[in-house]
Amino acid sequence: MRILCLHGRGSNNDIFKMQTAGFRSQLDDFEFEFVQGTVQHAKEGWAIHTDTFANSGLWEYYDLLDPYNVIETEQELLQLVEDDGPYDGVLGYSQGASLAAQAIIRFAVENPTATADQFPFRFAIFINCPTPIRILEMDEKVEPDIPKPEESDAALYMMLARANPLLDSQALFPARLANGRRVLTDNTVGLTKADPALDGQLIKIPTLHIRCPEDKEQFGREAYELCEKSVARQCFHHHDHDFPRGYDEMRAIAKQIRSLAEGH
């Protein structure tokens, strides 16, 4: 059983191996393969263990404010799976989870007649998964429209605009499409979050959503809503956006992963 593993933003393979060691040790018949991001991340000390492993370099998979880089990274992940696969599943935490979801969505949109065995993964495990990003071709020209603080997406766009001083992001401006959808755009492409109300359930393969129900909806709940409910399951922890921890939680996660992978 081969599982592709994608770490969180501002992290690295060393950190992710340590974070997942507790449940991986109970899945010793599984093969976990780690792929590290290549975009340098500023040292912020924003998560447990980040400072400890800072000498290993802190990385992310794409520049959140460069839609062309997002597209390129999704395509590169799908190419990696084609070249080095097959993989049974994908395991992602935070940005790694959203990247995995985005690649699955991209494949589904670009291959609408694909059968289940043609998908890059049979199943996906999302830990604290931020709402996946979608890059849309702009069919309409729009003017800047700054979100009001009381709007539900205002905090999300503020988070997306959190600059990484090591990156040189493209110049995007916030706007609203005719259907009401919020985007960050250069009037060629629009960067937006996937929305089940507008997009439907984009992920049809079996999924496991490991998340904190007390965390913001954009860090797990919205990703769950994008998945086919008949094959989506959830496993809750209570550490907000931090990684789950403790023997009981690791044991429960391992049990859920095995059940998902074996189709029980």
Q: Which of 11, 25, 56, 94 is catalytic?
A: 94
Kind of pairing, strands 89-93 and 2-6?
parallel
Alpha-carbon gap, residue 133 to 124, rounded angstroms: 17
Helix axes 67-84, 95-110, angle to 10 degrees: 80
Alpha-carbon gap, residue 31 to 28, rounded angstroms: 8
Cis peptide before 132 (omega within 30 of 0): no
| Sheet arrangement for strand 31-35 | 31-35, 2-6, 89-93, 123-127, 207-211, 232-236
Alpha-carbon gap, residue 245 to 22, rounded angstroms: 8
CA angle 120, 5, 244 (to 5 degrees): 125
Confirm whether 230 is a catalytic residue: no
Element (H, E) at 136: strand 133-137
Positions annotated as catalytic residues are 94
